[in-house]
Amino acid sequence: MMKCTVVAVFVIWTLGMVGGERPGGPALHWPATAALHAQQPAPQDEFVPIDELPPQDQLPAAPLLVTAYAFVVLALFAYLLSVARRLGGVQRDLERLESDLKRNGRA
């Protein structure tokens, strides 16, 4: 019964949101945010590949690119190390406990 209520509420809510959005639309944007948006580059719809690029555009990007890739590698590696370390600790505890039990005889 509860589950039906939840499902019903979600369905009604989704319909309400979807239905309500269409007439609302642009009227809901603040004048201030519209002005802010006008100052920023337009959202991009497609990527266009070109082979040549003027050299002055390349240099400032390199440190950002390198930092990004380095961060990805470091983060993944650090997490892997963390899991491996914790797993090793638990393994050691398990082995120690099992050998203790074997020595003293299981209760």
Q: Which residues bind to other proteins, rule: CB under 8 A?
A: 2-3, 5-6, 9-10, 13, 16-17, 20, 24, 27-29, 33-34, 36-37, 40-41, 43-51, 53, 57-58, 60-62, 64-65, 67-69, 71-72, 75-76, 79-80, 83-84, 86-87, 90-91, 93-94, 97-98, 101, 106-107
Instruction: Round to whole Å and give the CA distance between 64 and 71.
Output: 10
**What is the identity of the amino acid at 103?**
R
Instruction: Round to whole Å and give the CA distance between 87 and 25.
Output: 52
Q: How far is the CB of 9 from other proteins (least distance, A)?
A: 5
Instruction: Round to whole Å and give the CA distance between 11 and 60.
Output: 49
